[in-house]
Amino acid sequence: MKFNWKKRLIKPHQLTEVGEKIHAKGKKIVYTAGAWDMLHVGQVRYLHEAKIKGDVLVVGVSSNQTVRKLKGCNRPILDEKIRAEMLTYIRFIDLVTIVPQISNQPTIALLKPDIYITVKEGWNDGYKESKEYKTVTSYGGDVELVERQSPFISTTQILKRTVSSHLNDVLQDYLNVAQDPLTEKK
């Protein structure tokens, strides 16, 4: 049986209709979002924690443009479409959408999730003042913060270790040649 991942991908203009259909069935929608660039165990644990909170888990994928603005010109590593497709293969994720804006507020306003999940970190200490919080609570939804599920693993840390390792190799090659410049490298 071939898996059709495209059936799990929602376009932004479909969010209202999809949300209404899910709610009409009496199901609770949980929504969370992120870059999901280089998926790792902490992110999968976080997504699983989000799924436990409701019936249908909808995951937003930050657009390429948004990730560049937030993380720098060398990110994302993977294109938004690849990141979105990758998430559709995780069994407990029901639906995926690409989020074109930096803020999740427009997506939340269209989908109207019962619960909006975000990671508990210092940068969102004032989350109750955010547009996302105000939108979710305006229609009776809840916002929940979930602890980082793998505090020592992040995409940024993985990239730093990779670059550092590569730089060490380059420097070691340079030092080996510098010690005896007449020796040919084999």
Count of H helices and E strands in the chain? 7, 6
Where on the phi/psi map is residue 88: left (φ > 0), alpha (ψ -120 to 50), or beta?
A: alpha
State pLDDT tens for residues 14-66: 999 999 999 999 999 999 999 998 888 888 999 999 999 999 999 999 999 99
Task: Name the more confident of 164 and 56.
Answer: 56
State pLDDT tens for residues 49-63: 999 999 999 999 999
**CA distance linking residue 29 with residue 39, whole number of Å:** 23
**CA distance linking residue 161 with residue 38, whole number of Å:** 14
- On whether the CB atoms of residues 51 and 149 are closer than 8 A, the answer is no
